[in-house]
């Protein structure tokens, strides 16, 4: 679950940090799944934080317990101009460097790698860290010098990132990290005979990661918006092993903002790593629109069919319908099940009973439909045909005769979200 406030950070800090922080599926918009595929999401941690920001802006803006937690990971640099993340050594003694880089100690490629980031400071008589180092580079340095005690776990980094995000003065980059999480009992992505992580699984995790970054870091609200995916390109470099973790890095390559300074047009480059090796790269381009604008655009792009199309409800949605009529002055209702529906009518099924005669003869019946998530639809209808089959199942067709604009809009939305086109149907 994404940590959204001080209370939840406090709960983490008071107790033992969990092994994984699974992101709530509201942020990945995967409402029909048990979990999202994203965990331990965070912005890249700043290597250095100016001393005045750390000691004043941070210390005065967050609870004392949070500040004490940060002090476990950031230490003041000699000279006092900044606080540095304690994930790698800032200085390495000349003796230690000579011991590890002497003849036969390291491979030539490792020697060249180290000297890209560490240079000898003659004034101090030791090697000093220079330039920017990626997290993969950090891990390689720690392994070379056997300094694994400095390693900061993904959960710790996610918690530190969440605390730092509360203070605007902290330096930040549009680079984000997450762990890929797919439940072992997932029906589609984790079959029993799975021998490696599939490319589709990595692509889906990357897609969810990009969406989550929009909501968490880009100011995009969780509701009343839609994502228009313009392009998604995946490259795969090697097999991903099932029993090893996969880490993802997302770089925001391009962004345009809306009037509220939220991300509106984006391009993300997402790289998946396993054992610090690139295994895949996914690039996404997307436009985020308010739902009202999206519906207006869609209303001008109605599909053209030779006949009025009907739609089966998909397996993930329940549609309830009740048809109302009167018997004298007494209101009555007839409950049945939706078989298919359209903007102009619907077909129903009821087991073991025919519609009452009064219902069949009434040209101004009332109907009430309810769609999960979309809401209620009310209107008037009339019976067009009725048929009883040999299994005592009654099938009936109804034409919609009256409906308000807002109900018609809700029905259209339900068709887009829950309908599955009935192809090659017969005209009743």
Q: What is the pLDDT along the chain (428 residues), one digit of tens a residue?
A: 344 444 455 555 545 677 889 899 999 998 877 778 999 999 999 988 999 999 999 999 999 989 988 988 898 877 678 898 888 777 788 888 887 776 666 778 888 888 888 888 888 888 888 766 777 787 788 888 777 667 788 899 999 999 999 999 999 999 999 999 877 666 666 655 667 888 888 999 999 999 999 999 999 999 999 999 999 999 999 988 888 899 999 999 999 999 899 999 999 999 999 988 899 999 999 999 888 877 766 665 555 555 668 888 887 677 879 999 988 888 999 888 898 999 999 999 988 777 888 888 888 899 999 887 778 999 999 999 999 888 889 999 999 999 999 999 899 888 888 888 876 554 33
Find the helix or strand (DSSP H, E) in which 156 lies: helix 154-164
Q: Are 13 and 72 in contact (CB under 8 A)?
A: no
CA distance 214 to 209: 9
Burial class of residue 50 (count of CB atoms within 10 Å of its CB; 0-12, 13-18, 19+) = middle
Burial class of residue 197 (count of CB atoms within 10 Å of its CB; 0-12, 13-18, 19+) = buried
DSSP class of 188:
T
CA distance 217 to 304: 40
CA distance 67 to 50: 15
Q: Are 337 and 306 in contact (CB under 8 A)?
A: no
Q: Are 406 and 419 in contact (CB under 8 A)?
A: no
Domain parsing of the chain, residue ranges: 87-142, 311-421
- The domain 311-421 is placed in CATH, from the list 2.30.30.700, 3.30.460.10, 3.40.50.150, 2.40.10.220, at 2.40.10.220
């Amino acid at each position: 679950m994404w940590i959204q406030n001080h209370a939840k950070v406090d709960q983490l800090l008071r107790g033992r940090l969990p092994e994984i922080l699974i992101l709530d599926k509201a942020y990945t918009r995967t409402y029909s799944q048990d979990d999202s595929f994203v965990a331990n999401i965070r912005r890249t941690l700043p290597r250095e934080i100016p001393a005045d920001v750390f000691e004043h802006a941070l210390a005065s803006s967050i609870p004392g317990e949070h500040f004490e937690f940060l002090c476990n990971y950031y230490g003041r640099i000699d000279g006092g101009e900044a606080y540095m993340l304690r994930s790698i050594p800032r200085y390495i003694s000349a003796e230690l460097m000579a011991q590890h880089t002497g003849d036969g100690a390291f491979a030539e490629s490792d020697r060249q790698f180290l000297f890209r980031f560490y240079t000898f400071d003659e004034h101090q008589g030791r090697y000093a860290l220079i330039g920017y180092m990626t997290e993969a580079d950090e891990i390689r340095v720690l392994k070379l010098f056997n300094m694994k005690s400095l390693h900061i776990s993904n959960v710790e980094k996610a918690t530190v990132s969440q605390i730092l995000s509360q203070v605007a003065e902290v330096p930040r980059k549009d680079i984000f990290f997450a762990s890929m999480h797919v439940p072992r009992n997932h029906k589609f992505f984790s079959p029993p005979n799975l021998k490696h992580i599939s490319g589709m699984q990595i692509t889906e995790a990357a897609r969810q990661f990009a969406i989550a970054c929009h909501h968490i870091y880009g100011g995009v609200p969780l509701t009343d918006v839609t994502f228009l995916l313009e392009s998604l390109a995946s490259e795969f470099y090697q097999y991903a092993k099932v029993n090893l973790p996969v880490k993802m890095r997302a770089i925001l390559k391009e962004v345009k903002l809306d009037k509220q300074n939220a991300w509106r047009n984006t391009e993300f480059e997402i790289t998946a790593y396993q054992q610090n090796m690139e295994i895949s790269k996914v690039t996404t381009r997307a436009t985020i629109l308010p739902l009202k604008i999206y519906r207006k655009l869609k209303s001008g792009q109605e599909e053209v069919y030779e006949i009025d199309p009907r739609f089966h409800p998909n397996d993930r949605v329940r549609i309830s319908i009740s048809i109302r009529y009167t018997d004298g002055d007494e209101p009555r209702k007839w409950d049945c099940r939706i078989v298919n529906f359209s903007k102009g009518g619907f077909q129903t099924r009821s087991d073991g009973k025919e519609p009452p005669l009064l219902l069949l003869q009434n040209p101004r019946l009332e109907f009430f439909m309810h769609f999960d998530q979309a809401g209620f639809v009310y209107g008037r209808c009339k019976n067009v045909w009725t048929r009883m089959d040999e299994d005592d199942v009654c099938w009936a067709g109804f034409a919609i005769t009256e409906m308000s604009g807002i109900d018609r809009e809700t029905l259209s939305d339900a068709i887009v979200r829950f309908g599955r086109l009935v192809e090659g149907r017969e005209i009743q």
